[in-house]
């Protein structure tokens, strides 16, 4: 796919996602406790997630019929292929169900195992973050860039608390303690996709979390990369989309952030 086609596709994806966002927003106050299912420990889903995913699959399938899908709610069979859409129809489901206004749609396009398109759409503020490979990152038509802060003491850090996988919780809190004591603060807002979008536009300076899934981070990772940021897994490698752990930050504090996280989680390696 050439650059012009990729740009056009990105624009079309943003338009289709906005339509699905309107559906999610319209259902916000209609969901009741009987509509909520528990998939696993502290992992919730409702008809809104599933219906939104069905809509996205249909719309994206029409835009690129050759592509297969990897989706959170598995409303379509998850397959591997040359082109693959990676979809989280509602990242921040718990926020949504509790009517906390911080949740988003996350859509990425993978081509031959590389993310080439990413869109994160914040439903409440109608903020569309998007990027395509080698094209930069944007928010509602304006180019965005990573934070330029150079001192850890000036930064604001984003994270996600462990909510079902507690194997690394001691290491996690070791890192959290450092950031609490050495930054302007730590925020846990409940959507990894939006955390990454906010790193990309400089609202947050860094993000770290473990027990992540590809649909949580694929689109946001491209946003950070195209906005000038750096990403890795907790050991400094590049297995951050499917490796279930991620660090994302501005280049200015990346090495320090990585050292802190790596020393806590892999101190004996």
Ordered per-residue pLDDT tens for the chain, 269 residues? 899 999 999 999 999 999 999 999 998 877 665 556 665 544 446 788 889 999 999 999 999 999 999 998 888 888 889 999 999 999 998 899 888 999 999 999 999 999 999 999 999 999 999 999 999 999 999 999 999 999 999 999 999 988 777 788 999 999 999 999 999 999 999 999 999 999 999 999 999 999 999 999 999 999 999 999 999 999 999 999 999 999 999 999 999 999 999 999 997 55
Q: Give CA separation, 184 vs 74, 154, 158, 205, 220, in Å.
A: 39, 6, 11, 10, 23
- Phi first, then psi, for residue 107 (nearest 5°) are -135, 130
Burial 127-163 (b: 16+ CB within 10 A, else e): bbbbbbbebebbbeeeebebbebeebeebbbbbbebe
Where, residue-wise, is CATH 3.30.540.10 in the chain?
Answer: 3-144
pLDDT in the model for residue 41: 47
pLDDT in the model for residue 45: 60
Q: What CATH number belongs to 152-265?
A: 3.40.190.80
Instruction: Pull the structure tokens for residue 62.
Output: 């029409």
The DSSP bridge pattern shows strands 206-210 and 245-249 to be antiparallel
Q: Quick count: other Cβ atoms within 10 Å of Cβ 173? A: 14
- CATH H-level, domain 3-144: superfamily: Fructose-1,6-Bisphosphatase, subunit A, domain 1 (3.30.540.10)
- Nearest partner of 197 among 264, 116, 247, 122, judged by Cα: 122
């Amino acid at each position: 796919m050439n650059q012009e086609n990729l740009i056009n596709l990105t624009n079309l994806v943003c338009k289709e996602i906005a339509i699905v966002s309107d559906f999610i927003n319209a259902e916000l106050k209609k969901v009741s406790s009987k509509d909520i299912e528990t998939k696993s420990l502290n992992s919730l889903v409702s008809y809104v997630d599933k219906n939104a995913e069905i809509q996205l699959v249909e719309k994206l399938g029409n835009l690129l019929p050759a592509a297969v899908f990897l989706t959170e709610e598995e409303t379509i069979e998850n397959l591997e292929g040359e082109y693959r859409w990676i979809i989280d129809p509602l990242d921040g489901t718990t926020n949504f169900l509790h009517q906390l206004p911080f949740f988003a749609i996350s859509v990425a396009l993978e081509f031959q195992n590389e993310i080439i398109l990413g869109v994160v759409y914040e439903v409440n503020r109608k903020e569309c973050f998007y990027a395509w490979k080698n094209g930069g990152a944007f928010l509602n038509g304006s180019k965005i860039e990573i934070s330029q802060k150079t001192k850890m003491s000036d930064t604001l850090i984003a994270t996600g608390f462990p909510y079902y996988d507690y194997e690394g919780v001691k290491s996690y809190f070791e890192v959290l303690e450092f950031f609490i004591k050495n930054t302007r603060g730590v925020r846990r807002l409940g959507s990894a996709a939006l955390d990454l979008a906010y790193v990309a536009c400089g609202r947050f300076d860094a993000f770290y979390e473990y027990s992540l899934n590809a649909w949580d981070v694929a689109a946001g990772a491209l946003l950070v990369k195209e906005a000038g940021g750096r990403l890795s897994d907790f050991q400094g490698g590049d297995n951050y989309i499917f490796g279930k752990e991620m660090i994302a930050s501005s280049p200015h504090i990346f090495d320090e952030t990585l050292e802190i996280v790596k020393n806590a989680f892999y101190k004996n390696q």
